[in-house]
Amino acid sequence: MFLNTGLPLAIAGTAVLMDLRMAQVENGWILFSMMTAFFWRIMQEGIGGIQGFILGMLLPLAALSGLFYFRMLGPGDIKLFCALGCVMGPSAIGKCMICSFVLGAVISLAILIFCGSFLTRIHNLIRYFHIFFRTGEATPYYKKGMALENFHFTVPVFMSVMLYAGGVY
């Protein structure tokens, strides 16, 4: 079935293009993706597909809310995972999230090594948690704009969806 893999690829691929172009994923695209997933799941699984739709959407919300609270992950990334979860279901979106974070860590490490900012970033992370524990205030961890350290997390998400489409998980 082409849509089993094609739909998640289209959702993630369009999201990464939006993110690279505008530094955000449009809410309209997320809503359209979720509505498409809803009707696709009902056509494939009948009324029982609603359960997978809802669980696939809620798993990213529950699992990633802490990262959002600490401003370490943007709302667009979480909404993208939710839209993908609507299509892929809870089991596959859980694997997709894990794979995305592993791929993101590899990309981040490469940026740190090749740009020579490893110690600076570790210092910034320690300072971030020091300020949080001292004041109790969760400030944005990332800098605004197109700073190198703000690599687009939609890239490893798309890479993870490509692995899903290829049958790796």
DSSP-derived secondary structure letter, 148: T
Q: Which domain holds residue 73?
A: 2-104+152-165
Per-residue model confidence (pLDDT) at position 90 = 96
Instruction: Identify whether 141 is part of a domain.
Output: no
Instruction: Evaluate whether residue 135 is within a structural domain.
Output: no
- Note whether residue 112 is domain-resident: no
79 lies in some domain: yes
**DSSP conformation class of 98:** H
In a domain, 121, yes or no: no
pTM over 0.95: no
Q: How confident is the model at residue 45 (pLDDT cuts 50, 70, 90)?
A: very high
User: Mean of the pLDDT values across residues 76-88?
Assistant: 96
Residue 125 belongs to a domain: no
Domain count, the chain: 1
Q: What is the pLDDT of residue 77?
A: 93
Q: How far is CA 153 from CA 44, 50, 81, in A?
A: 30, 28, 11
* pLDDT band at residue 116 under the 50/70/90 scheme: low
Residue 51 maps to a domain: yes
Residues written for the chain? 169
Helix and strand element counts for the chain (H, E): 7, 0
Q: Does the residue 89 lie in any domain?
A: yes
